Homo-oligomer: A and B are copies of this chain.
Amino acid sequence: MIRISIDAMGGDFGPEVVMAGAAKALERHPDVSFLLYGLKAECEPWLARYPKLRERSVFHACELAVAMDEKPSAALRRGRYVSTMWRSIEAVKLGEADVVVSAGNTGALMAMSKFCLRTLASIERPAIAGIWPTLKGESIVLDIGATIGADSQQLLDFALMGGAMARALFEVDCPTVGLLNVGVEEVKGQEEVKEAGRLIREANLPHLSYHGFVEGDDIGRGTVDVVVTEGFTGNIALKTAEGTARQIATLLRESMSRTLLARIGYLLAKPAFDRLREKMDPNKVNGGVFLGLNGIVIKSHGSANAEGIAAAIAVGYDMARNDLNAKISQDLKIYHARRLPPAGPEAA
């Protein structure tokens, strides 16, 4: 049984879509139970629509919900201990849930998660890992915006945590990991990135196959299972890719509606277009994973529909079932054990 805690008030559409998504997720994963945190008046009518969900859930009425545009610091001040977001996270801390899923305000969710769950020992900064559709299937990209900048040690932490997530998500034993870099200069890349490459190579972790540097176009190509970068670059790469996909979709739509022949052709090829749309649908690949905390937190897109919420819950399900945090802790232990200096006169 996987116990999933849900912030029912998160997202642009609130409980209507969150409940529908949870109901869908339950159909796909019958071994799930839910803890739902919401405002009573707004949630009950929607919950009543899904008797099976209701049966497998415990609903907790909360005092307030964090707004989508609220500043993280304000959300933390106002919503600590009492908001649907806080209490859904707290369920993980208290051991009542295995994972929490929220489509709420990203900044507030990260601030509350850090405050409530704290970072893992030796991890200085959590990262947000995104799942990116590629030509080969899916890859993990992190950090896509938890913090700006990262030193070489933090990039190594990201590699390690992203590798553990890949093992949990793709069920591979030794995922490939690449550091995002540029290839135009003689002395390639930022100092931190070069140093991180050296550290990862030296760490020689048993569950991580270090590929070396990758460039921006390697992400969509699926060159590696895990692409590591700091949050500024990662966020811009992610949004640029989303923007490009939208741009091409718009141009394609315009082209296909311009002449009668094109419209007929479009109708004939519609199943093919639908298949493509599905492959690139952000709702199908939804669920950013907060890595580096004492607990698993999944962030759904705020604009997700029920399918998107179900996808984010499915990511949470996989992370909990394959025990993401045990994998991270195991890798951290191996890494730090190897880093201990050899016993010698100085140690004596």
Chain A residues in the interface with B (C-beta under 8 A): 71-73, 106-107, 134-135, 145, 147-149, 180, 182-186, 189-190, 215-221, 229, 231-233, 235-248, 250-252, 255-256, 258-259, 261-262, 264-273, 275-276, 279-280
The contact of A246 among B215, B217, B240, by CB within 8 Å, is B217
A-B contact pairs, 24 of them (CB 8 A): A72-B185, A73-B186, A107-B185, A107-B186, A135-B247, A148-B182, A148-B189, A148-B190, A215-B239, A216-B242, A216-B243, A217-B243, A221-B243, A221-B247, A229-B236, A232-B233, A237-B240, A245-B248, A251-B276, A251-B279, A256-B269, A259-B272, A262-B268, A264-B265
Q: Given A186-B107, A269-B256: A219 and B232 within 8 A (CB)?
A: no
Contact of A219 with B237 in the complex, beta carbons under 8 Å: no
Q: Which residue of B lies closest to A148 (CB)?
A: B190
Contact of A185 with B145 in the complex, beta carbons under 8 Å: yes
Given contacts A184-B231, A216-B237, A216-B241, 10 further A-B contacts (CB under 8 A): A107-B185, A148-B182, A182-B235, A216-B236, A216-B240, A240-B240, A255-B272, A255-B273, A261-B269, A265-B265
Contact of B236 with A182 in the complex, beta carbons under 8 Å: yes
Q: Given A258-B272, A265-B272: A135 and B250 within 8 A (CB)?
A: yes
What's the nearest-Cβ distance from chain B to residue A51, in Å? 38
Tell me which residues across on chain B come within 8 A of A189, comparing CB atoms. 148, 232
Contact of A190 with B232 in the complex, beta carbons under 8 Å: yes
Q: How far is the CA of A242 from the CA of B270 in the complex (A)?
A: 25
Tell me which residues across on chain B come within 8 A of A246, comparing CB atoms. 217, 220-221
Tell me which residues across on chain B come within 8 A of A135, comparing CB atoms. 247, 250-251
Q: Which residue of B lies closest to A249 (CB)?
A: B248
The 4 closest A-B pairs by CB, nearest first: A216-B239, A265-B269, A217-B243, A265-B268
Tell me which residues across on chain B come within 8 A of A216, comparing CB atoms. 235-243
What's the nearest-Cβ distance from chain B to residue A273, in Å? 7
Contact of A241 with B239 in the complex, beta carbons under 8 Å: no
The contact of A145 among B182, B275, B280, by CB within 8 Å, is B182
Contact of A243 with B219 in the complex, beta carbons under 8 Å: yes
